[in-house]
């Protein structure tokens, strides 16, 4: 409280903190949702490639990329959104690289 005019000097901070909390919540939900979605897609692609005539490396790469994306979703849910983003990128890159061996 400011002694001179009787106003609180941190009066507008509640909106800023509310926006930061909302942004953090959105980032967690986005990281978690993207990780789950990419993990499911990777598992589906791995299953489809396993039943086909692709070399064993291809479905393995999809499964490993899906596992990395699943780990990213767990980290995203715990608030580690930057690490989750980098793991999502790495997981998708592993899936794309594995697809090149087909």
- The three-state DSSP-derived secondary structure of 26-84 is HHHHHHHHHHHHHHHHHHHHHHHHHHCCCCCHHHHHHHHHHHHHHHHHHHHHCCCHHHH
pLDDT of residue 3: 54
pLDDT of residue 70: 95
Quickly tell me which residue has 């930057």 as its tokens. Answer: 82
- Greatest distance between any 2 Cα atoms in the chain: 79
Average pLDDT, the chain: 86
pLDDT of residue 4: 58
Q: Which long-range contacts (CB under 8 A, 24 or more apart) does 18-26 make?
A: 24/79, 24/81
pLDDT class of 99 with cuts at 50, 70, 90: confident
pLDDT class of 59 with cuts at 50, 70, 90: very high
Task: Report whether pLDDT(50) > 80.
Answer: yes
Q: What is the pTM of this model?
A: 0.78
Task: Report whether pLDDT(5) > 70.
Answer: no
């Amino acid at each position: 409280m400011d002694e001179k005019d009787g106003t609180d000097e941190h009066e507008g901070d509640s909106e800023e903190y509310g926006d930061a909390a909302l942004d953090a919540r959105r980032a967690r939900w986005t990281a978690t949702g993207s990780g789950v979605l990419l993990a499911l897609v990777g598992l589906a692609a791995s299953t489809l490639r396993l039943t086909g005539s692709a070399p064993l490396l291809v479905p393995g790469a999809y499964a490993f990329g899906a596992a990395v994306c699943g780990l990213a979703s767990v980290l995203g849910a715990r608030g580690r959104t930057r690490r989750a983003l980098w793991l999502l990128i790495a997981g998708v890159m592993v899936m794309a690289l594995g697809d090149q061996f087909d």
